């Protein structure tokens, strides 16, 4: 895709995006990306450090609305892709938006619920309880007297988000085609993952199901409370949930005045989060203080399940292994875990990477658990990944964001509580489960069954391939990053094969002449020239040259 085609699609919005970046002094960034001309980059290209860029970028994304705010928030957690100074600034992105008039909210509710507002609610507060870029929350009362929180999506938000996603996807494609760093990090794949998450956030039914799934994790727990979803008053654009009235987890003075036990609360938050992450593998992805309320009896209640994280059994084990090997100083174990995670590539300089990993583990070797910050460990790991152009799996970045957010809250609730100390039992349990004979046998059996299924399909696969070949429809798609090098090597191979065929033909001809001469009992002379003797010397020299070139190439 060319820059011209890029500008022609969604022309007005694309120009608005460009103008916003220019207005905030980021023309040199646009120039380096190939989106603007050299002329416009001269005004502000000099004397700007990464932090300056981060501040300007934060203000630009803030002005561009929900899609770009969410993109910046996600980018702030990708320390493996984004310089630390910029990431720290993007962490400050907030949804500072004006509220939608109640008449508009009322119209959306009546359209979505298919009826008059008073059919469903006895009363709805006209002033929103909270407002964000995607939707706003109103307190309402059902005819039963129950108080509920109704989240309503802003008008036309889906259309605007889809337009922005389309533009950013085009830009990602352009960058991946024209820049090395974008192709190295597979920018389009990263953006597709972001788009999927963004579209899920626009569908409030997904958030409702997330809430119910996490609720089931704690249905027998008396210390954690997850509010109920009222599906009869919920749609894709409206989410109605049980109203939770508690004290926000970071309102420390209010907690103290109400007589709550901050140490107990901190322990319950940590244990409930690690239960979600390391036992269930499905967790609240944004546990900031506004999403955690404390109810009477020091009960912890989670709210807002628009962002969740998923972590596979293998990733849970890798995560635990990283922490254990880091503390024990097992560099080889760390390298082995990184390899098993599949994040190292053929381009990774293993010597330099091993050196950086050794430097990292030396800082945490046999350090007391209460002196280690799990958030800092993540940041150190991401710095190493950034230096070596290693892409960290998305599930690990969401996990790190959740733990960083959690650690900031817990440190203030109970400064003596160590996240690392709290996670250690879960890590050891995961490792023990990994090597439990029953789990080993189960995994072996599953792999055996899977391999047998593959083997059973082989005859059909071979038949399909043979049919395709017979029809002349077999296509070979080769994707090589360094195509010129590949083609040169292919040319050398074809030349060598041609040379070998010529040598073989010449040798057969010479053998034929020698055999014919011996049968006839005479020497073959051509114009007094001993053709057999000279031909034999030439063939020998050709053969010797071929052997030398093969040995010199280092490939036998």
- Encode 208-231 in three state secondary structure: HHHHHHHHHHCCCCCCEECCCECH
pLDDT score of 50: 82
Contact 112, 235 (CB under 8 A): yes
pLDDT score of 481: 46
Residue 88 is assigned to a structural domain of this protein: yes
Residues 10 and 68 in one domain: yes
pLDDT score of 555: 46
The total of structural domains in the chain comes to: 3
Residues 399 and 507 in one domain: no
Residue 221 is assigned to a structural domain of this protein: no
Low-confidence ranges of the chain (pLDDT < 50): 41-43, 45, 480-482, 526-527, 551, 553-556
Q: Which residue has the tokens 């007297």?
A: 145
Neighbouring C-beta atoms of residue 253, cutoff 10 Å: 8
Residue 280 is assigned to a structural domain of this protein: yes
**For the whole model, what pTM was predicted?**
0.70
Residues 287 and 409 in one domain: yes
pLDDT score of 556: 44
Distance between first and last Cα of the chain:
43
Residues 53 and 190 in one domain: yes
- Residue 17 domain boundaries: 3-96+159-199
Q: How far apart are CA 143 and CA 140, in angstroms?
A: 10
Residues 257 and 189 in one domain: no
Residue 360 is assigned to a structural domain of this protein: yes
Residue 261 is assigned to a structural domain of this protein: yes
Reference 170, options 262, 310, 46, 35; nearest CA is 35
Residue 240 is assigned to a structural domain of this protein: no
Residue 12 is assigned to a structural domain of this protein: yes
Residue 273 is assigned to a structural domain of this protein: yes
pLDDT score of 474: 60
Contacts of 231 (CB under 8 A, 6+ apart): 208
Q: How far apart are CA 533 and CA 536, in angstroms?
A: 5
Element (H, E) at 122: strand 121-124
pLDDT score of 496: 58
Contact 152, 134 (CB under 8 A): no
Q: How far apart are CA 279 and CA 363, in angstroms?
A: 29
Residues 7 and 65 in one domain: yes
Question: Reduced to 3 states, what is the DSSP secondary structure of residue 136?
Answer: strand
- Taking each helix axis from N to C terminus, what angle separates 374-387 and 313-328, rounded to the nearest 10 degrees? 100
Residues 189 and 259 in one domain: no
Query: What is the DSSP-derived secondary structure letter of residue 56?
Result: H
């Amino acid at each position: 895709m060319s820059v011209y085609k890029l500008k022609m699609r969604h022309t007005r919005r694309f120009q608005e995006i460009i103008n916003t970046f220019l207005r905030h002094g980021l023309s040199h960034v646009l120039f380096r990306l190939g989106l603007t001309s050299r002329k416009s980059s001269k005004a502000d290209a000099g004397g700007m450090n990464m932090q300056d860029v981060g501040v300007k970028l934060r203000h630009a994304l803030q002005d561009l609305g929900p899609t770009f705010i969410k993109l910046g928030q996600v980018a702030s957690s990708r320390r493996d892709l984004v310089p630390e100074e910029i990431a720290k600034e993007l962490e400050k992105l907030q949804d500072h938006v004006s509220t939608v008039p109640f008449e508009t909210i009322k119209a959306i509710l009546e359209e979505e619920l298919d009826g008059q507002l008073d059919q469903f609610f006895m009363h709805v507060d006209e002033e929103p309880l909270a407002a964000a870029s995607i939707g706003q929350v109103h307190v309402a009362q059902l005819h039963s007297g129950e108080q509920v929180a109704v989240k309503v999506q802003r008008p036309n938000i889906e259309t605007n988000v889809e337009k922005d996603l389309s533009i950013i996807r085009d830009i990602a494609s352009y960058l991946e085609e024209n820049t090395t760093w974008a192709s190295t990090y597979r920018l389009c794949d990263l953006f597709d993952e972001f788009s999927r998450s963004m579209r899920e956030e626009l569908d409030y039914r997904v958030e409702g199901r997330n809430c119910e799934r996490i609720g089931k994790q704690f249905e027998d727990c008396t210390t954690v409370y997850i509010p109920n979803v009222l599906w009869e008053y919920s749609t894709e654009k409206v989410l109605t949930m049980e109203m939770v009235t508690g004290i926000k987890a970071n309102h420390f003075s209010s907690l103290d005045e109400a007589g709550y036990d901050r140490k107990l609360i901190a322990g319950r938050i940590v244990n409930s989060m690690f239960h979600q992450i390391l036992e269930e593998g499905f967790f609240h992805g944004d546990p900031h203080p506004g999403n955690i309320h404390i109810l009477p009896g020091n009960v912890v209640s989670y709210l807002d399940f628009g962002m969740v994280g998923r972590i596979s059994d293998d990733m849970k084990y890798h995560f635990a292994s990283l922490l254990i090997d880091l503390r024990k100083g097992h560099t080889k174990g760390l390298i082995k875990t990184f390899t098993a995670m599949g994040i190292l590539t053929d381009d990774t300089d293993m010597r330099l990477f091993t050196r950086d990993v050794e430097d990292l583990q030396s800082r945490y070797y046999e350090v007391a658990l209460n002196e280690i910050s799990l958030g800092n460990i993540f940041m150190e790991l991401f710095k190493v990944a950034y230096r070596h152009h290693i892409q960290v799996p998305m599930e690990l970045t969401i996990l790190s964001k959740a733990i960083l957010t959690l650690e900031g809250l817990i440190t203030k609730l109970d400064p003596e509580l160590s996240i690392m100390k709290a996670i250690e039992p879960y890590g050891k349990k995961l490792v023990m489960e990994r090597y439990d004979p029953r789990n080993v046998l189960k995994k072996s059996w599953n792999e055996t069954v899977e391999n047998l299924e593959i083997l059973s399909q082989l005859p059909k696969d071979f038949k399909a391939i043979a049919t395709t070949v017979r029809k002349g429809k077999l296509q070979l798609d080769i994707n090589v990053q360094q195509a010129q090098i590949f083609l040169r090597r292919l040319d050398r191979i074809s030349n060598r094969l041609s040379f070998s065929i010529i040598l073989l033909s010449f040798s057969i001809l010479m053998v034929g002449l020698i055999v014919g001469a011996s049968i006839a009992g005479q020497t073959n002379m051509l114009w007094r020239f001993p053709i057999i003797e000279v031909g034999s010397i030439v063939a020998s020299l050709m053969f010797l040259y071929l052997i030398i070139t093969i040995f010199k190439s280092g490939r036998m």
